[in-house]
C-alpha cells in the first residue's frame, strides 16, 4: 500500500511554482480522491491520479513526470533490496571462482605456457568544457498555513458550538435521582422508604441545513463540509437533515453536494414542524457584489415558504459584513437574521435558532 500524502504538498507547491494553474480546489480534490483509496496502490497509480486532476496537456504530463521522479522517493524495501543484491552477486562470483580454480589444479612438473600479454596504449581523451547549468533550488514546504487561511471557523469550535442547540425532553431512562421529590415523599410519609427517580433528558432537536454550493461558494466548500459533518456526527442533535442548492433554494434542491440527487423543496419542508431549526449557509450575492431584484424576490418567496412551517431561521454568510452593503445580502438581512461566518456569528446564529 502506497501512502501519497507525504509527497502531495511538495508536488503541489513545486508544480504551481513551475506554471501549473493550481488552486486550493485542485489540492483538496486530490485529498478527497486519496480518502477514497484512489492513487494509493503504488507510485504509478498516484502519478496517474495527478495527471487526471492537474494536467491539461501533454507538456504538463511530461513536466509532472520529471518533478514526480525527483520528489517521490522509492520505498525503503526496494532500496534495501538493491543494496543487498551486490553482496549476493559478489558471493556467487567468489564461489564460481573457487570452483574454477579447484578444477584447474595441475602438478608442479607440468609446464604451463602462457600467451604473451598485449599491452594497449590508453586512448587520450580531449579536454573540453562541460556545459554549466544553474541548479534550481527546491523549496520544501513543511507548514500548510496557506491552505488554512480561508478557514473562518475551526472544526473544534464548531463541535463546541453545537452543544448549545438543544431541545431537551425528559423521556429517557428513569435513572436520575430527584432529591426534591425524595425529600417531599419522606416528609409526607414520616420516614424514608426509597429514593425517587426521574427520567433522563434527551436532546430531540431537529436541524435542517441548506447549503449553497458551487459558484462563488467554492472557496468555502471545506467549511460547509465541516459544518455538516460536525452537526451530524459530532453533536448531540437527534436529527440533522442537509440539502444543497445553487445561488438560492428554488423549487428543487439536492440531497448531495454534487447537485445530482434532486428533490422538491416542499417535500423536505413537509417533514419540519414549529420546533425545527433551519440554518441557511450562503453568500447571498455578496461575494461578487451583485444586487439583483430577481434574487431578492425569489429568496423572499423561499423564506416565506419556510416560515409556514417554522420561524426558527438563521443565515450564515461567509463574506464579511462590511461587504454586504449595496448587495442582495443587505436586503435579505432585513428579512431573516443574517450573521457573518465567524465565531461570534455562529454563536449568534445558534442562539437565534434556540429561541
Reported as a single tens digit per residue, the pLDDT across 179-195 is 999 999 889 888 888 89
Same domain, 19 and 74: yes
Same domain, 52 and 188: no
- For residue 124, being part of any structural domain is answered with no
Residue of 69, 65, 33 lying closest to 51 (CA atoms) = 65
Higher pLDDT, 16 or 303: 303
pLDDT for 113 equals 47
Tell me the mean pLDDT in the region 155-181: 90
Same domain, 338 and 223: yes
- For residue 158, being part of any structural domain is answered with no
Same domain, 223 and 320: yes
Same domain, 217 and 177: no
Is pTM beyond 0.75? Reply is no
CA dihedral over 116, 121, 122, 123, signed as positive or negative: negative
pLDDT for 151 equals 57
Domains in the chain, number: 3
Same domain, 212 and 317: yes
Domain boundary among 71, 100, 129: 100
- For residue 121, being part of any structural domain is answered with no
pLDDT mean across residues, the chain: 80
Neighbours of 202 (CB within 10 A): 16
Domain boundary among 44, 71, 100: 100
pLDDT for 83 equals 45
Domain extent for 271: 203-353
Residue 287: partners with Cβ closer than 8 Å, 6 or more residues away: 216, 217, 318, 319, 323
Amino acid at each position: 500500500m502506497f501512502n501519497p500524502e507525504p509527497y502531495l504538498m511538495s508536488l503541489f507547491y513545486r508544480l504551481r511554482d513551475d506554471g501549473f494553474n493550481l488552486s486550493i480546489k485542485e489540492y483538496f480534490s486530490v485529498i478527497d480522491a486519496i480518502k477514497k483509496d484512489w492513487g494509493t496502490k503504488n507510485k504509478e497509480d498516484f502519478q496517474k491520479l495527478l495527471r487526471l486532476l492537474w494536467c491539461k496537456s501533454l507538456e504538463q504530463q511530461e513536466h509532472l513526470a520529471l518533478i514526480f521522479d525527483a520528489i517521490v522517493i522509492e520505498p525503503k524495501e526496494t532500496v534495501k533490496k538493491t543494496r543487498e543484491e551486490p553482496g549476493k552477486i559478489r558471493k556467487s562470483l567468489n564461489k564460481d571462482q573457487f570452483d574454477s580454480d579447484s578444477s584447474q589444479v595441475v602438478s608442479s612438473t607440468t609446464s604451463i605456457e602462457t600467451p604473451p600479454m598485449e599491452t594497449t596504449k590508453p586512448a587520450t581523451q580531449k579536454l573540453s568544457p562541460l556545459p554549466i547549468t544553474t541548479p534550481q533550488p527546491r523549496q520544501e514546504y513543511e507548514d500548510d498555513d496557506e491552505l488554512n487561511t480561508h478557514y473562518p471557523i475551526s472544526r473544534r469550535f464548531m463541535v463546541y458550538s453545537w452543544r448549545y442547540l438543544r431541545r431537551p425532553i425528559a423521556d429517557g431512562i428513569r435513572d436520575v435521582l430527584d432529591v426534591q421529590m425524595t425529600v417531599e415523599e419522606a416528609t409526607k410519609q414520616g420516614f424514608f422508604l426509597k429514593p425517587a427517580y426521574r427520567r433522563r433528558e434527551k436532546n430531540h432537536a431537529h436541524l435542517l441545513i441548506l447549503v449553497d454550493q458551487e459558484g462563488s461558494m467554492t472557496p468555502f466548500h471545506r467549511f460547509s463540509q465541516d459544518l455538516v459533518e460536525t452537526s451530524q456526527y459530532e453533536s448531540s442533535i437527534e436529527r440533522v437533515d442537509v440539502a444543497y442548492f445553487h445561488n438560492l433554494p428554488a423549487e428543487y434542491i439536492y440531497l448531495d453536494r454534487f447537485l445530482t440527487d434532486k428533490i422538491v423543496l416542499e417535500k423536505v419542508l413537509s417533514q419540519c414542524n414549529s420546533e425545527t431549526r433551519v440554518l441557511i449557509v450562503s453568500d447571498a450575492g455578496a461575494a461578487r457584489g451583485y444586487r439583483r431584484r430577481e434574487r431578492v424576490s425569489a429568496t423572499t418567496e423561499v423564506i416565506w415558504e419556510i416560515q409556514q412551517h417554522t420561524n426558527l431561521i438563521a443565515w450564515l454568510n461567509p463574506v464579511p459584513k462590511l461587504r454586504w452593503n449595496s448587495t442582495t445580502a443587505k436586503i435579505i438581512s432585513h428579512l431573516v437574521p443574517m450573521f457573518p461566518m465567524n465565531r461570534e456569528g455562529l454563536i449568534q446564529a445558534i442562539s437565534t435558532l434556540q429561541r
